[in-house]
A and B are shown apart, each in its own frame.
Chain A
């Protein structure tokens, strides 16, 4: 039943793609497409939610696909959870979409392609999650990848957009190849390509390792773990903002889904080495992601790097879970898995929120660069409030949702003492340390973003033209922001309803979550740790009200007097006196100097009036040390191969001649 509802959602998404083609006006097309997309989101979110809550697994074989392999579909708690994320975020973004597209796309053909591929992209994501055999999975996966390629390349008149889209496509294809090989290994030992057959397969240990490595690289490429993350900061800034929100908030989660499905669902066994690898890669992604994010000036590129960080945190949770599972502590494994999944949904919410906010900002101010924004809080108060909520959530501050998942990850890590091996124990200690560092740096990063973009004074004329965005755009941001707050305040209820996932995958749930009452989240036991999120909010409100009421008589007696800012007595301050995004992160740049390849230049003043110029460009080591040399190597070897192509007809005939002789020799 719910599975049919999900398929109805897929149908609606495809319909949204189809309906946009014949429409003659941009606004009608956008409205129709996004309405259908929103409905499809609602339908799949409902079915996903029910699939997760009921906890049973639905299966269906569709009469399409290859003759000997019909398309298998399923809906179990894990798929339901991710379907909820994809569907929910899609539904909310559909509110944002119409006015954004009308405001930013002027060309009818471009609007058509955008709407068409958005529908295909969303349908692809639904189908990836619903797929229950390798073949449908791969078809849906490629549909998702290719559709999103066209979305990234949407504004294809600029060269850098095309380049970014090409890198994205290339990496998506290579990743897809790895995933295919991973499924191939499983299918080779199993009796077929359906997930149930693969599950039943028994693999020798080294083939398990190979399958894991293939899946880790394949899905990691899509998820954006370090050093496979380079496409993210390229592709996100060039895609339209609602697409960035979908790609960063949702598509990365689909990759995480694939990885969890492969590891927990299909492989079914756990080795501690896998846990260590996932954990360490997660740490590296989290730390490097946020450090690189801190150095960016382009708002959307910054958010893209921050996605790398959050994927890192998710992987840390998964790594801990695998470690505990391999050590025979299923309860703690369930805790780690729940922490990772909770961060998945949280990141989907706040990263979509931030990308939508960034879209609204860029749409209004016409600037991508943080250094040209400023003072937007007065002009766009609602967007600013929602963006602030997103910033607080992503910085993992109580009482919002990002804090809960990070707290859960910490709690999981602190249980590391139960492990047998000292090696893993101390690795977990180091991982906890890097998670702490990540959290603090994330707060620094988003203080910068909000402080530079929304506070202070406008740094550029265009910014002054900004005004609050349309109702739909505001509504979607408000919905996402309240989602962040709700998941932050009622974590125990949310986690209780996620119990079915670890129960399904690991055979055990978290029985202690509400052991101290619904107000308290107690993941392990009431003694070990407790977090009463509603009480925190209540306590802050009480203290606030107390301070406010105590000062009330005083406030009436002496009202606030307004005056100019303190200017040290030198006369009025200009907007250039403010800190910029670059100067704000300068101390951190100096402390963690070797982390980035930095091209820093100071040109001395040429004349007395000219103040000289300072420029700083922060690159990416992964790009410069890994991908460029790789690219050069490929090019060199390609050049060597071109020697075969001599151009002389006799040489070509000689090739045929020798080939013939060799063939004859082999055959005879």
Chain B
């Protein structure tokens, strides 16, 4: 442990450009983060912190960089060939630091995508257990318990407990998405990133997911990208507004939706553009 702390870069005191956090501990913080596709900067100089056990919504018109920003938080941005400057701290770890293992990072920062992505060759059970494979070897009863707990947390257990061995693609779209949430939370990440998780779902499916988020924040820190402002207003504790790659405003959801300080935020949330 002491050896580790010797190699640890000192925790930097961050330039406090973001508004001071209103409550709780800060778990993940981006500092002066710029994300590129080639030479195009899709996200520019964003500095923002996210507190633990809250739901944080990222809103903005499409192409504003909110999804790209989300994908820099677990380094999925690099999968499509992008790169970043600036830094992202998870706890005290710089996720862009040297010798960072993407496997370890993504086990701490899970992600759910816009379209449900169950693995078509795996059963429901195998899908939920899929993320456990990359961690320490666990016994069968341990895995069984984790799968059950994850499915229960995702509100899917009662629907699938009798057909865990069946293919996951037979589930409805909403069930598939909750399955993907169960798969994401099974390895117990600290942070869950959701990239428009209800965009391809019907209203019932959307409602189930929104209820879930409320329960999940007891155990996880949630960052959700949504193009639906009502959804942001319903589910989130803080809201951050992105426009043209820059972070325009961030704050408590109630404040953003009732008393935005920026004119562009107000224009967006009142539907005057975007």
Q: Does B bind A?
A: no
